[in-house]
Amino acid sequence: EPLTAAALQMLYGGLAMLAIGTWTGEWSHLAWNGRTIAAEAYLTVFGSIIGYSAYSYALRHLPSAVVSLIAARTTSTPNRSA
């Protein structure tokens, strides 16, 4: 099941990052306020849930070659606003 595999990859990746962050002392730099909570909620909803749902939908309705090209194009486009 692809959804289960992706969920497990995200879970284990998050646990690895948590362990590395704890080991390197990142907890002392953490400051929870309204802005950080809003950013965390935004990334959880739009970056993870909606992003993965759109990717999964595209895989079901488009050829995988097209989906991989779209993913490669959107992640490798330089920021031209600078």
Per-residue confidence (pLDDT) for residue 33, from 0 to 100: 94
Q: Which run of H or of E encompasses 7? A: helix 2-23
59 within 8 A of 67, measured Cβ to Cβ = yes
For 59-75, the pLDDT digits (tens) are 888 887 887 777 666 66
List, in order, residues 6 or more apart from 10 with CB less than 8 Å away: 48
CA–CA dist 63, 81 (Å, integer):
32
For 6-33, the pLDDT digits (tens) are 778 888 999 999 999 999 999 898 888 9
